Structures are given as structure tokens and as C-alpha cells.
Amino acid sequence: MQVNNKQKFGRKWGEYTLFSLTNSNLIHVDITDLGASLVNFYVPGKGGRRVNIVLGYDTAKAYLEGDAFIGGVVGPWANRINGGAFKLDGNTVQLEQNEGANHLHGASAGLHKKHWEVETVTRQKITLKARIKQGEAGFPANISIYVTYQLTNDNALNIHYKAQSDGTTPINLTQHAYFNLSGGEENILDHMIHIDAETYLAIDDQFIPSRKCAVAGTAMDFRQPMRIGSYIHLEDEQLLIAGGYDHCWCLNGRGLRPIAQVYAKKTGITLNIATDQVGVQFYSGNSLQDIDGRNGAIYQKYDGLCLETQCYPDQVNMTELAECILKLGELYRHTTVYQVITD
């Protein structure tokens, strides 16, 4: 990376640096080397009004102290592993348990609080690198992880993940941005959401998938655009367990394809999501409570939503184990696209 590019596109942010990506349509994205986090995502809304469509904090210190994974890249294993344990080559691997008995989002090896190296940066693209050491939070190999954010002139933020390891290890990376297409003027319950999935993974009281269920006839049916708040307060077992939505949808199709859409009438902003992953975790911000956000905002329940593209939660304990295991000489790849359109 050329030093002048780092100085040209970055500015000091405590002990870290905040890098700005911009395109020809006044889209502005800020990425930091703290957690490879997505800090700001400014979009022109109705009438050209500037809207920041992600939640965030004012300072790097707040990101380090926060426990909601706001804006961070999470892994080496995003989501949950039951008991933090799984079988690998006939042996039990025990990862750190940081959510009761579960392993969640990498535990103490969490990528969202690491100081990433900046490999390259230009006006519309940045690549960052982080390392996981063998034994860190129990992971059985050294892992090198790369994330590239690319802002295109058709208003898409492309996120490309790559990883290599020196041994066999589970891998599952995602972006934990909390979106609010109203710019935080209201919560996300009036947002419309569509998810292209016929089935979802029902969870037990420890948030571990227990079975695959059809969405038809349930509060999980977003095959047609639906207001998020339409069913969220129903006396439904799955919604009561999570306090809202915190489930993985089993996506239709394979390869990079459109999988979800969110729309806010208030700002006229649509967020289109595409991915090459098998699942997306739709989380409606159920655990947000009295969080000191940017510009004096206090984030509360349902103030943001996450659409985390990934392998299935606890997939290491499913028959599809091989699909989420990285071996020496292999390359993990994952692409997700968040594209914005304004009425």
C-alpha cells in the first residue's frame, strides 16, 4: 500500500484509522482498521437528504467497549456453536464458550476487535488483513483472513472475504452491520423486508438450531415483502424465545444471487442484498438496550436490523460439516453485496 494513499483516504481515529470510500453518486462509506468495521454508510434519501443507514459509535473506544458487534466483521466462526464443541477428523474440538455454553462470533479471538492491517486502499476500495493464531479461543489452526470492501458507481458495497489456514479449521465470516434505512429517525418495525427462502432453522432456548421448518403459514414467511412489525409481537414460540427475529433462513439457489431486500418508505431507500452463502441470519436488534450510539443517540430494541450472510449456525454439528471446514491448501471465499436504491 502506498503511504500517500493511506494518508489521502484515511484519518486518525484514536489509535486506529478511519478510511473513506466515495463514489460518483454521493455515497460515502467509512471503514476502520478496528475490526474492519463498517462505521458509516451515507446515502442520499428523498430530496437528496443525506441518510446514514447503519448504526454506529462516535469513537474507536466505544467500539472496543461495546458488546453488540456493531458494524464489525465477525468470525472466525460467526454465529453459534452448540457447547462450543464439534468433531473434526474423529477428534473433539472445544472452542471457547462465551454465551453460556455456546461459542459465539469467535469469542476472545473475535475479528471485530482486532487491529487489522491495511493492505491497499483507493477512493473506492480497501483490503484489510487479520490473523488468528492456532489455539486462540480454541481454533485448531493459524488462519489468515482478508476482507475487501469495494464501493461501485451503481451504489453497491461489495464485500469479498478470503481465508487460508495451515491446518483444518472451521470458518464462517460475516458482516454485523445494523441497518436502519430511516437514518435512526424511527425503529425498523415499519421497514418492509423480503427474504428468498422456503425454510428457516427453528431454534431451542439456547438459540441453537433444532430443526428445519417451512416458512409457509408462519411469522417467518418473507417470500413476499412484509412489514417487519407485522408479526414480531405475536405469541409465537420462536419469536418469544428470541424476543423477535434472530433466526437463519435457508436461502434458495446457489452462487452469487439476490437473496433479500429491505425498504423504508420514510426515506425511499431500498437495500438489496446478494450473496453466495447458504444462509442469512435476520436479527431484529432484540437485545439493543440503552446503548450510547453516535451523535447522542440511545439505541433501543428494534433500532437496527442485521442481515448476516453465512453458513448455518452450528453447521459444524450438521451433516453439511464439510461445507464450512477449511483445510491446508484450500481458499475460503465469500461475497456479499449491499446495494442501495433511492425512490
Task: Give, as one character, the DSSP assignment of residue 68.
Answer: S
176 is catalytic: yes
| Measured distance CA(246)–CA(286) in Å, rounded | 8
CA proximity to 172, closest of 90, 91, 106:
106
Catalytic residue (choose from 112, 176, 194, 334): 176
308 is catalytic: yes
Q: Which helix (H) or strand (E) holds 6?
A: helix 3-9
Q: Are 140 and 93 in contact (CB under 8 A)?
A: yes
DSSP states along 264-302: ETTTTEEEEEEESSSEEEEE--TT--SEE-GGG-EE-TT
298: how many CB neighbours lie within 10 A of its CB?
A: 11
Name every residue whose Cβ is closer than 8 Å to that of residue 99 and which is 6 or more positions away in sequence.
Answer: 80, 207
Catalytic residue (choose from 105, 247, 308, 334): 308
Could you tell me the CA-to-CA distances from 32 to 28, 116, 136, 302, 341 in Å, in that order? 13, 9, 23, 25, 24
**Residue 11 region, left (φ>0) first, then alpha (ψ -120 to 50), else beta?**
beta
**Is residue 326 helix, strand or coil?**
strand
Q: Are 325 and 294 in contact (CB under 8 A)?
A: no
Q: Are 263 and 291 in contact (CB under 8 A)?
A: no
CA proximity to 70, closest of 288, 295, 337, 310:
288
Q: Are 334 and 308 in contact (CB under 8 A)?
A: no
* Active-site amino acid positions: 176, 308
